[in-house]
């Protein structure tokens, strides 16, 4: 595994783990999005109204990550960044981040 491929492989693994967790927990259509053209609507799709960008990095960079998911989110979908936390293997325990401006559309 070369240095350039290691971070990408870590990210792909986290995407697969999250998609599998979502399928086991009520979202049977969840899957890792495989467009490969850099214009995909997030990393994991199959959840209507949601855009998920998955990050598995040693250094948290919320600003750039939120900008990325904002750019990828389709109109009407809520953009979220899913952050795999160090040493936490259960995707249900990872962090979910969005902008405060999304709050009025999420809560009753």
pLDDT for the residue numbered 61: 95
Structural domain for 95, as ranges: 5-106
φ, ψ (nearest 5 deg) of residue 36: 75, 0
Predicted TM-score (pTM) of the model is 0.87
Contact 53, 42 (CB under 8 A): yes
Rounded CA separation 66/97 (Å): 8
Share of the chain above pLDDT 90, in %: 70
Starting at the edge strand that comes first in sequence, how are the strands of the sheet with 31-32 ordered?
A: 31-32, 44-45, 50-55, 78-83, 95-97
pLDDT at 4 over 80: no
Domain tally for the chain?
1
pLDDT in tens, 37-90: 556 788 999 999 999 999 999 899 999 999 999 999 999 999 999 999 999 999
pLDDT for the residue numbered 1: 45
pLDDT for the residue numbered 9: 81
Contact 9, 52 (CB under 8 A): no
How high is the mean pLDDT of the chain? 89
């Amino acid at each position: 595994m070369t240095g350039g491929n290691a971070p990408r492989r870590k990210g792909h693994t986290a995407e697969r783990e999250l998609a599998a967790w979502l399928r086991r927990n009520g979202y049977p259509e969840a899957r890792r999005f495989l467009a490969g053209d850099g214009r995909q609507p997030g990393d994991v799709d199959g959840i209507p109204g949601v855009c998920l960008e998955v990050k598995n990095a040693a250094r948290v960079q919320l600003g750039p990550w939120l900008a990325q998911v904002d750019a990828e989110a389709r109109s009407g979908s809520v953009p979220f960044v899913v952050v795999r936390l160090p040493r936490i293997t259960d995707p249900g325990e990872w962090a979910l981040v969005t902008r405060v401006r999304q709050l009025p559309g999420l809560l009753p």
